[in-house]
Amino acid sequence: MRAPLKAAVLALIIGTLTACAVGPDYKMPEQVKQVPFNSPYQQAGAALNWWQAFNDPVLDQLIEKALVENRTITQARANVDRAYAVFRDADNNRLPNGTLDSGYQAYENSTLDPSDDDIISRGYQSGASLTWDVDLFGKIRRASEAAQANAQQADILWHDAQLQIISQVAASYGDYRGAQLRLQVAQENVNNLEQSRAIVLARLNAGMASELELARMDAQLYEVKASVPAYQSQLATADAALSSLLASTPGELADSVLSQGDVSNLPQLSKPVAIVKGENYLRYRADVASSERALAASTAQIGVATADLYPNLSISGFLGFLSSPGFAVNSDSQSWSVAPTLSWQVADWGSVRARINSAKASSQMALADFEQSVFSALNDMSLSLKSYNLSRQQELTTEQQRAASQKAVQIARQRYNAGSGEFLDLLDAERELLRSRDQQAQLEKQTFTRLVNIYKAFGGGISVL
């Protein structure tokens, strides 16, 4: 009865000791408590479908394909699997490790008398070997905490990769539709200028206009035509960006998905963007959550380094059978061994202290990075809203300008055709209409891009009313 009692007492002592862990326990930094980051990372419920608010089937198809085919997302997912495998390996180190062994050994013993034959001994060994690094001061526990935080960070970055790719696809789609729209506007401008040119030519043939008037009208017409290749180049650039994001060959999307849909307008929201007062949008920001997990991992690494100031206890043992050739393996050949080992880096404390200081410095760097990510995120969200609102106001004003310019052209053309208006008035009105139409197309694309930036800045956590 005494042996089991001693074993139980020993296990209790070891269990009590392994409950200790040196180094600081991780807590949310005091420096950012005034900032509303009071809950862990939470992927927004609409983070992976916010684009559907645009009601654009082509955009839906592009993003669905990107989520499946994009290699950056695939790489991020593989990194999550790798990180959690590392964590499981680190966490398993807290338990005893065992192997099953079976072997044969032969060795020769030389005798002192040359006339005697040497003795050859043979034996068989079979059994289980166990090793256990007793985590007296929490080194393994802290390493497991660090690995877990790293795995959680990888998971957050995987979700962020999806959001980033969705945003890039939406922005590139906006670039493509924007170039299409400007190309369409340029063609409409060419048609309008050709109508005005026909009027000038008719008046020239009637002796009521000069060659100079026709030449100036031609110059403006060719200027607009010269802009067409630039818009076609923008189309090719946007197509290349989308093809890269969707792992498609050049031109494949332009001939299939992108050939569908209405090119006269960029996607617009049918309802305004909704900002919920008091909502903690920071919890949707993957960059903030990622840096917070990096801080947790670096804090745990301080404990890993600090544990080297204390002794390390490891226990190895064997339970099995030892026998010689010709002898049966039975209870008489049973064998066991227990070998505790205590090691202590007493003579290397200088290096241990250096590693502790290095870990503390890394933790301070991670803290600074976390704080910076919080304040950068707050400013990013605020700027995205302001930029979108200003772009929307500018777009509405430009729409009014375009309508006024359209009316001015109609009046100038009627007066010039009737012989009561000046050619320069018509030319100036045409030029102003060209500029306002193209500016409106640019602003539609800019507003769409800035709306995408809002969803990106808010981690997909924003919604529409």
Q: Rounded to whole angstroms, how far apart are CA atoms 177 and 259?
A: 11
Residue 143's Cα: distance from chain center in Å? 25
Domain boundaries, the chain: 22-464
* Residue 10 tokens, joined: 């020993």
pLDDT computed for residue 110 by the predictor = 58
pLDDT at 125 over 50: yes
Residue 10 has pLDDT above 90, yes or no: no
Residue 16: pLDDT band with limits 50, 70, 90: low
Give CATH superfamily name and number for 22-464.
Outer membrane efflux proteins (OEP) (1.20.1600.10)
For 290-340, how does the pLDDT look when each residue is reduced to its tens digit (9 = 90+)? 999 999 999 999 999 999 999 999 999 888 877 666 555 566 677 788 888
**Which of 45-54, 207-216, 369-378, 449-458 is least confident?**
45-54
pLDDT at 9: 46
- The whole model's pTM is what? 0.80
User: Does 271 score more than 70 pLDDT?
Assistant: no
Is pLDDT above 70 for 12? no
